[in-house]
Amino acid sequence: MATSITVHDVAKAAGVSASTVSRALSGNTAVAAETRDRVVEAARQLGYRPNLAARGLITGTTHNIGLVVPDLENPYFASITKSVQSRALAAGYSVFIADSDEDIRTELELVHQLSKQVDGLILCSPRMAASDIAAVAGQTMMVLINREWEGLTSVVVDDAEIIRLALEHLHALGHRHIAYVGGPEKSWSNQKRWAAIERIAPTFDDLEVGKVGSYAPNFDGGQSAADVVVASGATAALAYNDLVGLGILARLTTRGIRVPEDLSVMGIDDVNVATLVSPGLTTVRSPLKKVGRSAVNSLVDLMNPTDRHSAPEDLPVQLVVRQSTSVPQQHS
Amino acid sequence: MATSITVHDVAKAAGVSASTVSRALSGNTAVAAETRDRVVEAARQLGYRPNLAARGLITGTTHNIGLVVPDLENPYFASITKSVQSRALAAGYSVFIADSDEDIRTELELVHQLSKQVDGLILCSPRMAASDIAAVAGQTMMVLINREWEGLTSVVVDDAEIIRLALEHLHALGHRHIAYVGGPEKSWSNQKRWAAIERIAPTFDDLEVGKVGSYAPNFDGGQSAADVVVASGATAALAYNDLVGLGILARLTTRGIRVPEDLSVMGIDDVNVATLVSPGLTTVRSPLKKVGRSAVNSLVDLMNPTDRHSAPEDLPVQLVVRQSTSVPQQHS
DNA sequence: TTGTAGGCGTTATCAA
DNA sequence: TTGATAACGCCTACAA
């Protein structure tokens, strides 16, 4: 803060009025070339930077956006956050970050705290109730990631295609009994993924997919689930996401159960850490970078209704085969 | 934005003036209890939220802070970011996030972009030149993480103690030839860590610590380094950080070199992913959560000079022994 | 205890 | 093309 320099300082230095400085620098209105040069030079010398808050007060546009995520330490959200902020920067926006720590009340509070100082909000995998989303949607422009709501713009990965690729891969290897290790009941993605399984599994010959409980969407959740998976008699586990997959992997290793010889394990998303372990985790890649970028693009379109809307980006998912899956062992 | 409700709307609804509304809600000045209740009720009904940008314009305080990090996808920075935003929320601040993507120019640009809309800035492991830090420091309140500069508040983990714990552990196991796998030359932490090694290693009997090149501070860097480490003849590798350690681990596994039987590997920091692999990575834990929290506390102290300063938190590091280290094998 | 007036830094409107 | 003036939403003297 200190006593930062304002338009008036620049105006005095350049020997013009404050309004002329504003015009010269924002470049909207015509200014005499010579005057503008003088103003620009003065601004440069003084190191003038406009106060965006003040500008926003009158233009009604802050050039800030907000991003709300459930957990920044989850590499899934870290990747999305990184791409959101990168794209926002390129589009001339600064971004407020808000980590709800998976808590619904915090999530809502953060949204309210931010809504007044941003032009728009991106809600990533929001856990909040639909009614709250609807209420908030009236306050500010909004884009949803991994959730849909009538009238709101959404960016979602194709869960059905993810499931199809995963089942296809395991079925092709010869697996006929697969355990799906579920994520949080309230997670929209988890619901979609299980629904897709129920719809798609019957399209494969002789394939049985059982659902194993509901677990926290992280490493610990996977560790908890592993023993139940083993007991289920399935020859392959499909985890709700990579972190759960890694948890399963770790627990199986501890028990001396070999992967993939004794049991195949698949994750979903291909977050960065999936390559860190050995055996590497077979997974279906979600285009997280594109998700973040696309969400920003959509939001920018929403906030600037005049501009030509950019074509919606498609978000291809892709099977990534590593060492954690193989043909099932014959019964010994 | 839409046409959001202002103090005037509340004033009209409550049958008072705008200034009374301001007073009633901010609670600084005395207001008749009955009037205040009426105002508060009216505000609640209308869902009034003050425009913080407008408030900041006059109070000179935005209640926003900014955080600049080199890479959000690095779990080290993700953890710090999470704790920064968590503590900031508790202290009543919203946080701008800025990912420089390890680029010096971007880093500087982000700092400038943010400096006018925040009360203070936290620079985490800044890569920028010292002269730039000095220049920026004049613009806004600032706290540095993992870097020191005269006159500026810093939060740093005790690199010397980290090194001491690591060497003590490996030496106690019987290792006499250790390879330190260096991080980026320009990294302040890397410089401090190597300097600490040169100072501390001689205090152990018969201990030789060699430096193995300079590598990217991530998984790929570790993979690149692994073969050189093996060739060095060292019985243990101490990596610049956990990600490098994991890279080494992975490459060794690929080559069929057993850890810890053939070679012990240590990381530094104990980022979340260190527990994901097996064998688990022995490491020295940096209190990342405390680092973020402490940085916010220091910044808040700086921004509110009147308040009683909170006592500086100490940041204990701690050895975490997992399975990637053991006594060196006898020569076979 | 409350209302009126002024101003924070900027841009938009209107004359000149 | 430029300069005064008003206004954005809010807060804080000052006056009532």
Q: How far apart are CA A92 and CA B103, in angstroms?
A: 18
Rounded to the nearest angstrom, the minimum Cα separation between B146 and chain A is 20
Q: What is the pLDDT of residue B276?
A: 87
Contact B71, B98 (CB under 8 A): no
Written as tens digits, the pLDDT of chain B (332 aa) is: 446 889 999 999 999 999 999 999 987 778 888 999 999 999 999 989 899 889 999 888 999 999 999 999 999 999 999 999 999 999 999 999 999 998 999 999 899 889 888 999 999 988 888 999 998 888 889 999 999 999 999 999 999 999 999 999 999 999 999 999 999 888 899 999 999 999 999 999 999 999 998 999 999 999 999 999 999 999 999 999 999 999 999 999 999 999 999 999 999 999 999 988 888 999 999 999 999 999 999 999 999 876 677 778 899 999 999 999 999 985 44
Confidence of residue A122 (pLDDT cuts 50, 70, 90): very high
Exposed e or buried b per residue across A249-266, where buried means at least 16 C-beta atoms within 10 angstroms of its C-beta: bbbbbeeebebbeebbbb
- Structure-block tokens of residue A10: 């620049």
Beta bridge partners of B178: B209, B236
Please report the DSSP string for A258-310 in residue order: -TTTT-EEE-SB--GGGGTSSSPPBEEE--HHHHHHHHHHHHHHHH-TTSPPP
Q: Are strands A94-99 and B94-99 parallel, antiparallel or unpaired?
A: antiparallel
B241 near B76, Cβ under 8 Å?
yes
Question: What average pLDDT does range A238-252 have in this prediction?
Answer: 96
- Among A128-142, A156-170, A232-246, the minimum mean pLDDT is found in A128-142
Token couple for B168: 């003590």
Does domain A7-50 fall under CATH 1.10.260.40? My reply is yes
C-alpha distances in Å from residue B275, one per residue of A80, A97, A239, B267, B316:
23, 27, 19, 11, 20
What mean pLDDT do residues A229-243 have? 97
The two beta strands, A94-99 and A64-69, are parallel
Domain with CATH 1.10.260.40 in chain A: 7-50
DSSP B310: P
Domain with CATH 3.40.50.2300 in chain B: 62-156+287-303, 159-286+318-331
In chain A, which residues have their Cβ closer than 8 Å to the Cβ of B99? 81-82, 85-86
pLDDT of residue B332: 43
Nucleotide nearest to B36 (CA to C1'): C1
Q: Establish if A304 touches chain B: CB-CB under 8 angstroms.
A: no
Residue for token digits 């910044």? B299
What's the predicted TM-score (pTM) here?
0.93
CB proximity B50 to A under 8 Å: yes
| Structure confidence at residue B304 (pLDDT) | 85
**A232 phi/psi in degrees, rounded to 5:** -70, -20
* A101 shares contact with chain B (CB less than 8 Å): yes
| pLDDT at res. B3 | 63
State how far the Cα of A39 lies from the Cα of A45, in Å rounded to an integer.
10
* A3: pLDDT strictly greater than 80: no
Q: Does A41 have pLDDT greater than 70?
A: yes
Neighbours of A117 (CB within 10 A): 24
Please say if the pLDDT value at position A332 is more than 50: no
Angle between helices B33-46 and B18-26 (to 10 degrees): 90
Q: Rounded CA gap, B297 and B291, in Å? A: 10
A310 pLDDT higher than 90: no
Q: Average pLDDT in the A42-54 region?
A: 91
Q: From start to end of B157-217, where are the E strands?
A: 177-181, 208-212
Q: Is the pLDDT of residue A289 over 60?
A: yes
Q: What is the CATH number of domain B159-286+318-331?
A: 3.40.50.2300
The bases of strand C with some atom under 7 A from any protein CB are 1-13
Q: What fold does the segment set B62-156+287-303 form as a domain?
A: Rossmann fold (3.40.50)
Nearest nucleotide by C1' from A17 CA?
D3
Which pLDDT band holds residue A279 (cuts at 50, 70, 90)? Answer: confident
User: What is the pLDDT averaged over residues A259-283?
Assistant: 94
Q: Do the beta carbons of residue B83 and residue B291 sit within 8 Å? A: yes
CB-based contacts of B104, cutoff 8 Å, min separation 6: B127, B128, B129
Residues forming beta bridges with residue B99, ordered by sequence position: B69
pLDDT of residue A330: 59
Indicate the residue type of B79: S
Chain D bases near protein Cβ (<7 Å): 1-5, 7-13
Residue of chain A whose alpha carbon sits nearest to that of B50: A116
The pair of structure tokens assigned to B30 is: 């005395």
B320/B282 Cα distance (integer angstroms)? 6
Judge if the upstream peptide bond of residue A279 is cis by omega within 30 degrees of 0: yes
Q: Tell me the average pLDDT across A30-39.
A: 90
pLDDT in tens, A197-217: 999 999 999 999 999 989 999
Asked if the model's pLDDT at residue A1 lies above 50, the reply is no
CB A212 within 8 A of CB A195: no
Mean pLDDT value of segment A278-303: 95
Is A10 in contact with A48 (CB distance < 8 Å)? yes
pLDDT of residue B306: 67
Chain B residues with CB under 8 Å of A138 CB are: 2
Lowest mean pLDDT among A23-37, A107-121, B9-23: A23-37
